[in-house]
A and B are shown apart, each in its own frame.
Chain A
Amino acid sequence: MSSVIDTEVPGSADLEQEVERRRRELAELEAKLAAWNETTGATAQRDDTDFTTVSGQPVRALYTPLDTQGDDYIADVGLPGEYPFTRGPYATMYRTRLWTKRLFSGFATAEETNERYKFLLARGTTGLSVAFDFPTLMGYDSDDPMSEGEVGKCGVAIASLADMETLFDGIPLDRVSVSMTINGPAIMLYCFLLVAAEKQGVPFEKVTGTIQNDILKEYQAQHAWIYPPKPALKIITDVFEWSSAHAPKFNTISISGYHIREAGSTAVEELAFTLKNGFTYVEEGMARGLDVDEFAPRLSFFWDVHNDFFEEIAKFRAGRRIWARHMREIYGAKRPESWRLRTHAQTAGVTLTAQQPHNNIVRVAYQGLAAVLGGTQSLHTNAMDETLALPTEHAVRIALRTQQILAFETGVPNTIDPLAGSYFVESMTDELERQAEEMFAEIDDLGGVVAGIESGYFQARIARSARRFQDEVEANSRLIVGLNSFQEEGEADIEILKIDESAGESQGRRLAALRQTRDADAVERTLAALTEAARADENLMPPMLDAVRSYATLGEIRSALESVYGRFQEPVAF
């Protein structure tokens, strides 16, 4: 056999020759490129753009092998499904399973949203994603004075297990995976869902889905918080701990860059803040004494997909590589499932314009394409009217069809990570990783994520980037079609969904009836047990499930815990 090996491996003299040949090639390229820059004037440019990404990263006229010569293919790029996962979290990617077409929706009452879900399921959506109204997002009952005017407006109102049962009436929770955008009161809504499944006869271990449960980005960007960071992190760790034993198929967190970006951050801030938040959750779990390989495989991510096509694709790729490297090298995770970053993506709502709203269909299509080229596991495509109101069925259908055209007509999903090896995309991936690492060091210097939140570092940084972008748009150095360029007189009107004001009243009646018919003693007893568990610093999941089974409301559970934990005070700056 040795003779066969001898013929395949070059001798050391051959190897030296090969290295020399490669070195000469790059030197020659370098010289040619310098001449090319001189003669073609690579610095020459049209005057309607400054050739930076939407986040302000400079983009050169041309990328060549010189830009990727530092990359070691196996160590830095590799194969899909293998460390460091740059090319994708799974070996077969879309060849065996397309991304989940998951449209975020919810409005008015549980009953009306249940009908919309059935409409979506009948048209080929493959996962549900619940949008809650603001009272639910903040943990208030629909009949709380703080909720006035807000019930059912931006999502569906869910104030108790009874509402959750109605929301999934006729939808089998062992077959349809449910993603819930909920953070401050995530543990409450998670318990509502688990018990609703239990009532359908579905055991916890068969329930699939995701809760967003990412409180750190709430303080940084989205602002649906309840308790201060420390108890909030304790509750999240309770969810990790309990779920790894009892609901192993459920994604217990979706660490989200989406809201950070929508609030105005740059791509690299989105990347770095989100991953750093992720590392913080890992550190919390490990500090509890959990084995990192027990809970890390259930962590999932959620990226925004903004307008800058290649920057976004590079962001997805860099994110996977950074996560894998830190999980293996710094946190010592042993299982590949702990290294692998799986993500949901949503096209950037903030890029949609109220002006010429039909153009938004095109923006969403490009953004969806970037998400798929970036290797997303699931995708929400925005409806064209979302900057004006909650979407109509017509607008939602176009958004869903946009994904189906991408999946079945374009041929894009046929091969895995087709942009790998592009000098530009690889070098942008490297650059985003480098800048994210710099930002991690900066956050460490501040004392970590929680210290950064308390001092307002993240909030101020995001606000500054938002202001920079707005200034660029107003100075017309960044063109937005229909907004600061190519405007039309007399905009075409589009149909707008109006939410019936009656949702508040009917929710109020439903809650009043619930409070009449439930076993008041059981509610009181289970809430007391929950408060006691919080005082004793025990895992809150078991007593919370009991409180939910007794039909304690969201607001009652919120208040019970607030009596122990207090509430978050926002550092205000602009």
Chain B
Amino acid sequence: MVERKIRVLVAKPGLDGHDRGAKVIAASLRDAGMEVIYTGLHQTPEKIAATALQEDVDVVALSILSGAHMTLFPRVLNLIRENGMDDVLITGGGIIPQEDVEELQALGIGRLFGPGTATGEAATYIQEWFLANRADDEV
């Protein structure tokens, strides 16, 4: 097994401008040794899926604080799967009520982190997922 860096796309879909969380998470994942791509605000799901493909990422972490999560998470998930990226983890965070979290996870979205999450928790989750699912990949 060859050690390689986990590649993460941190993305803000939709119109909301709250990027404090996305930037803090991006910086903390980078500090945890991951390769982090952050593309800025107001990204369409199509753009996010295209970036994920182009950058060949392992993880897509979406930050949504606008209430549009039930539209945007499934849209990004479907586009990424349509690109044939079946083994990419789609996770994220924001203001997402528990019942919506459960519904999104049933669709195949990974863990979703709410307000008050320690950044280390998100990093640990991604590392554990990677070890379990992707660490044996050919580099």
Q: Which residues of A contact B118 (CB under 8 A)?
A: 474, 484
**Contact across chains for B120 and A222 when beta carbons are under 8 A apart:** no
Identify which of residues 254-276 in chain A touch chain B, using a CB-to-CB cut-off of 8 Å.
262-264
Check if B35 is an interface residue, CB within 8 A of chain A: no
**Contact across chains for B27 and A150 when beta carbons are under 8 A apart:** no
**Contact across chains for A150 and B119 when beta carbons are under 8 A apart:** no
**Contact across chains for A483 and B15 when beta carbons are under 8 A apart:** no
**Contact across chains for B20 and A148 when beta carbons are under 8 A apart:** no
What CA separation (Å) do A484 and B121 show in the bound complex?
Answer: 13
Check if A388 is an interface residue, CB within 8 A of chain B: yes
**Contact across chains for A154 and B24 when beta carbons are under 8 A apart:** no
Instruction: Give chain B's interface secondary structure class.
Output: loop
Instruction: For residue A537, give the distance in angstroms from its CB to the closest CB of chain B.
Output: 28
What CA separation (Å) do A137 and B18 show in the bound complex?
Answer: 13
Known: A355-B116, A572-B38. A470 touches B24 (CB 8 A): yes
**Contact across chains for A574 and B38 when beta carbons are under 8 A apart:** yes
What CA separation (Å) do A17 and B116 show in the bound complex?
Answer: 61
Check if A114 is an interface residue, CB within 8 A of chain B: no
Q: Which residues of A contact B108 (CB under 8 A)?
A: none
Q: Which residues of B contact A154 (CB under 8 A)?
A: 16, 66-67
Check if B110 is an interface residue, CB within 8 A of chain A: no
Which residue of B is nearest A355, CB measured?
Answer: B116
**Contact across chains for A134 and B95 when beta carbons are under 8 A apart:** no
**Contact across chains for B66 and A354 when beta carbons are under 8 A apart:** no
**Contact across chains for B24 and A148 when beta carbons are under 8 A apart:** no
**Contact across chains for B23 and A466 when beta carbons are under 8 A apart:** yes
Check if A223 is an interface residue, CB within 8 A of chain B: yes
What CA separation (Å) do A355 and B26 show in the bound complex?
Answer: 24
**Contact across chains for B24 and A467 when beta carbons are under 8 A apart:** yes
Check if A374 is an interface residue, CB within 8 A of chain B: no
Which residue of A is nearest B114, CB measured?
Answer: A354
**Contact across chains for A222 and B17 when beta carbons are under 8 A apart:** yes
Check if A463 is an interface residue, CB within 8 A of chain B: yes
What CA separation (Å) do A499 and B17 show in the bound complex?
Answer: 20
Known: A223-B17, A572-B38. A150 touches B116 (CB 8 A): no
**Contact across chains for B70 and A149 when beta carbons are under 8 A apart:** yes
Check if B115 is an interface residue, CB within 8 A of chain A: yes
**Contact across chains for A153 and B24 when beta carbons are under 8 A apart:** no
What CA separation (Å) do A149 and B71 show in the bound complex?
Answer: 5
Q: Which residues of B contact A474 (CB under 8 A)?
A: 118-120
Query: A153 is contacted by which of B10, B66, B114, B115 (Cβ under 8 Å)?
Result: B66
Check if A438 is an interface residue, CB within 8 A of chain B: no
**Contact across chains for A223 and B97 when beta carbons are under 8 A apart:** no
Q: Which residues of A contact B19 (CB under 8 A)?
A: 223, 263
Check if B53 is an interface residue, CB within 8 A of chain A: no
Which of A264, A572, A574: most chain B CB closer than 10 A?
A574
Instruction: For residue B3, give the distance in angstroms from its CB to the closest CB of chain A.
Output: 25
Known: A354-B116, A389-B95. A150 touches B67 (CB 8 A): yes
Query: A572 is contacted by which of B27, B40, B115 (Cβ under 8 Å)?
Result: B40
Check if A285 is an interface residue, CB within 8 A of chain B: no
What CA separation (Å) do A389 and B96 show in the bound complex?
Answer: 8
**Contact across chains for B41 and A263 when beta carbons are under 8 A apart:** no
Check if B92 is an interface residue, CB within 8 A of chain A: no
Interface membership of chain A positions 116-149, coded 1 if the CB is closer than 8 angstroms to chain B and 0 otherwise? 0000000000000000001101101000001111
Check if A30 is an interface residue, CB within 8 A of chain B: no
Check if B5 is an interface residue, CB within 8 A of chain A: no
Check if A166 is an interface residue, CB within 8 A of chain B: no
Instruction: Give chain A's interface secondary structure class.
Output: loop
Instruction: For residue B96, give the distance in angstroms from its CB to the closest CB of chain A.
Output: 10
Interface residues on A, range: 35 or more
Which residue of B is nearest A138, CB measured?
Answer: B15
What CA separation (Å) do A412 and B71 show in the bound complex?
Answer: 47
**Contact across chains for A466 and B44 when beta carbons are under 8 A apart:** no
Q: Which residues of A contact B22 (CB under 8 A)?
A: 574
Which residue of A is nearest B41, CB measured?
Answer: A223
**Contact across chains for A353 and B115 when beta carbons are under 8 A apart:** yes
What CA separation (Å) do A466 and B26 show in the bound complex?
Answer: 12
Which of A147, A218, A570: most chain B CB closer than 10 A?
A570
Which residue of B is nearest A499, CB measured?
Answer: B67
What CA separation (Å) do A153 and B24 show in the bound complex?
Answer: 25
Which of B23, B28, B44, B118: most chain A CB closer than 10 A?
B23
What CA separation (Å) do A129 and B120 show in the bound complex?
Answer: 38
**Contact across chains for B119 and A137 when beta carbons are under 8 A apart:** no
**Contact across chains for B72 and A149 when beta carbons are under 8 A apart:** yes
**Contact across chains for B23 and A150 when beta carbons are under 8 A apart:** no
Check if A387 is an interface residue, CB within 8 A of chain B: yes
**Contact across chains for A353 and B116 when beta carbons are under 8 A apart:** yes
Interface membership of chain A positions 448-492, coded 1 if the CB is closer than 8 angstroms to chain B and 0 otherwise? 000000000000000100110010001000000001100000000
Check if A286 is an interface residue, CB within 8 A of chain B: no
Q: Which residues of A contact B67 (CB under 8 A)?
A: 150, 153-154, 389-390, 499
Check if B39 is an interface residue, CB within 8 A of chain A: yes
Which residue of A is nearest B10, CB measured?
Answer: A574
What CA separation (Å) do A140 and B114 show in the bound complex?
Answer: 28
Check if A224 is an interface residue, CB within 8 A of chain B: yes
Query: B95 is contacted by which of A146, A264, A388, A501 (Cβ under 8 Å)?
Result: A388
Check if B4 is an interface residue, CB within 8 A of chain A: no
Known: A387-B115, A389-B97, A474-B118. A572 touches B39 (CB 8 A): yes
Instruction: For residue B46, give the distance in angstroms from its CB to the closest CB of chain A.
Output: 10
Check if A59 is an interface residue, CB within 8 A of chain B: no
**Contact across chains for A147 and B116 when beta carbons are under 8 A apart:** no
Check if A496 is an interface residue, CB within 8 A of chain B: yes
Instruction: For residue B107, give the distance in angstroms from its CB to the closest CB of chain A.
Output: 15
**Contact across chains for B20 and A466 when beta carbons are under 8 A apart:** yes
**Contact across chains for B14 and A150 when beta carbons are under 8 A apart:** yes
Instruction: For residue A507, give the distance in angstroms from its CB to the closest CB of chain B.
Output: 14
Instruction: For residue A143, give the distance in angstroms from its CB to the closest CB of chain B.
Output: 14
Q: What is the interface of chain A, defined by CB distance below 8 A to chain B?
A: 134-135, 137-138, 140, 146-150, 153-154, 218, 222-224, 262-264, 350, 353-355, 387-390, 463, 466-467, 470, 474, 483-484, 496, 498-499, 501, 570, 572, 574
Instruction: List 7 A–B pairs whose Cβ atoms lie within 8 Å, in order of A's numbering.
Output: A134-B16, A149-B72, A154-B16, A350-B20, A466-B23, A496-B97, A570-B41
Q: Which 9 A-B pairs have the closest CB atoms?
A: A149-B71, A223-B17, A153-B67, A149-B68, A134-B15, A572-B40, A574-B23, A354-B115, A574-B26
Known pairs A134-B68, A388-B115, A484-B118. 15 more at Cβ < 8 A? A134-B66, A135-B15, A137-B15, A146-B15, A149-B72, A150-B67, A150-B68, A153-B66, A154-B16, A154-B66, A264-B20, A389-B97, A470-B28, A499-B67, A574-B36
